Structure 1
Amino acid sequence: MEEPNFSLGNVRDDLLQENDDWDKFGRFWENLPLDPHMGDGGVYRRRKYSAISYDLDADTVRVVDQEGFLQSKEINKLNGGVVRRFEPVDPALLDTPVFRRVLAHFATRIEEAAPDGEQVPRVRHVNIHQHRIVATEGEAGNPTPEGIHRDGVEHIVMMLVARQGIAGGVSTLYDNAESSILSRTLADPGDYIFLDDKTCLHSVSPVEVLAPNPEGYRDMFFLEFC
């Protein structure tokens, strides 16, 4: 069995610069629309999604026209098997220094980690997901209602943008036999898990609101390199 391949860090500590304006980046999570495709009937997830083509050599981004987001039932037992359409990511987010630096950094890491002699695409298809998981007094939020899973891509960046007024949200990684290998709470803005989706499965525990707050949330940013 292939060894799990993952790493942890914080982008604000590791690669951002003072003029990259994290607060401006985080404001793109303030008005996410409700996810209308929740197979469990939950109304706790707000979401945007876009797909891009990224040219690593030229450092250019082109939004790809897509009919929607599709995962197989084998990959996503809850919401797979149907085309899910979401409001696209705001184009202004794609021009922020935070996004461009994070995208270039992880694309370069994938290239540098490739085995000797393996041809790495210079132009990559990348899925971009913005999630806000909301917890209220009446409903907990479930970041991974499909349970332990993989996303069916090559590599994934899972990055915390903000968390407010909640408990829980513990990320757990598993090997391909579903044995737990790591549990970690992404607690500080910029905390990330970067993993090889072929060698790791993952899940996140539910989030619950902390009294006396009427509502709390967990904002996440995902890059899926296909």
Structure 2
Amino acid sequence: MENYVTLKVREIPEAVRASYSDLRRDPYLEFRERYRRYANFKLRLSADRSQVSISRLAHKPYYQSKTYHETLGDIDRQFEPIEADVTGIIAECTANVPLDVDRDYFLRVHQFRTLAKNDDSGKCVPEGPHRDGVEFAVMVSIDRQNIVGGASQILADKTASPMFETLLEPGTALIVKDTDVYHNVTDIELVENAKLGHRDVLLWGYIPWEESRYKELYGELVEETKTIDVSAYRDKALN
């Protein structure tokens, strides 16, 4: 069984691309090169896998245990909410994720911009090789400007050499079975003669709703709900 796959995302709305210029600096990191926004969703794939129902949940802090983030685990991290409509991108990629059709999933969704400037490298993943504590993780490249590096890596464990490495160009997604492998992203650096560069990514993970603390935390608090037809998007499914 494959535990990762890449695929092309057919459409990234211009409003989503533009929204990355209004992310807020991550206050929990010592370095100042990473900016982000965060949102929570509840999702279900229809029985015939042709439709995704997705609901925006009330905004809450982001939480990970120290099992998955040794430095910033076990604390509630406050981030500004995502303002752009990213549900179309999420739905398209979901068509290629082997979710159970008889259960709801909780999604933790992040917008990230990592900067490269002067002689400093931009750290895309400060914690290094890691798991996110989800069933499946999806990373979508939104934009790259004036940079080299930022290669996505898949590893069997934290200390292993990468079994797979790829540079995700804008409009490309990487889907990973987070329970089976670790993932990492190399640092970015400026291209020659450039003064500022960035790497923009949309990232989220699927957690079975009934298996997580979020069932009690969120209840049924929903801000908006939509159903999206994904019957044309099953291009290269992760089996």
Q: Same fold (TM over 0.5)?
A: yes
Q: In terms of mean alpha carbon deviation, does 140-149 or 59-68 score higher?
A: 59-68
Residues 108-149 of structure 1 deviation map (CA, whole Å, 9 limit, x = unaligned): 333xx36xxxx5444221111100000110432101110110
Q: What is the match of residue 231 of structure 2? A: none
Q: Flag the 1:21–1:51 CA change in 2: closer, same or farther, 3 A.
A: closer
- Determine if the alignment matches structure 1 residue 42 to structure 2 residue 28: no
Q: What is the match of residue 96 of structure 2? A: 109
Q: What is the match of residue 20 of structure 2? A: 29
Q: What is the match of residue 142 of structure 1? A: 123
- Determine if the alignment matches structure 1 residue 76 to structure 2 residue 76: no
Q: Flag the 1:59–1:4 CA change in 2: closer, same or farther, 3 A.
A: closer
Matches within 5 A, 1:165-204: 165-176=146-157, 178-179=159-160, 180-186=162-168, 188-204=169-185
Give the AA of the match of 1:87: E
Taking structure 2 as the reference length, the TM-score comes to 0.77
Contact 2:12 2:171 in 1 (8 A): no
Picking from 21, 39, 44, the partner of 1:55 is 44
Q: Flag the 1:121–1:87 CA change in 2: closer, same or farther, 3 A.
A: farther
User: Aligned-residue CA RMSD in angstroms?
Assistant: 2.1
Shift of 1:211: 2.7
Taking structure 1 as the reference length, the TM-score comes to 0.81
Following the alignment from structure 1 to structure 2, what is the Cα–Cα distance between the partners of residues 68 and 21? 26
Q: What is the match of residue 7 of structure 1? A: 5
Following the alignment from structure 1 to structure 2, what is the Cα–Cα distance between the partners of residues 109 and 184? 19
Q: What is the match of residue 234 of structure 2? A: none
- Determine if the alignment matches structure 1 residue 217 to structure 2 residue 182: no
Contact 2:130 2:158 in 1 (8 A): no
Matches within 5 A, 1:115-130: 120-130=101-111
- Determine if the alignment matches structure 1 residue 65 to structure 2 residue 58: yes
List gaps (5 residues or longer) in structure 2: 208-239
SS in 1 for 2:64: coil
List gaps (5 residues or longer) in structure 1: none
Q: In terms of mean alpha carbon deviation, does 55-64 or 205-214 score higher?
A: 55-64
Higher helix share: 1
Shift of 1:66: 4.5
Contact 1:44 1:139 in 2 (8 A): no
Following the alignment from structure 2 to structure 1, what is the Cα–Cα distance between the partners of residues 12 and 32? 31
Contact 1:4 1:199 in 2 (8 A): no
Shift of 1:37: 1.0
Picking from 114, 123, 139, the partner of 1:158 is 139
Q: How many aligned positions are there? A: 202
Following the alignment from structure 1 to structure 2, what is the Cα–Cα distance between the partners of residues 108 and 170? 24
Shift of 1:78: 2.6
Shift of 1:103: 2.2
Higher strand share: 2
Give the AA of the match of 1:175: A
Contact 2:116 2:189 in 1 (8 A): yes
Following the alignment from structure 2 to structure 1, what is the Cα–Cα distance between the partners of residues 158 and 126? 20
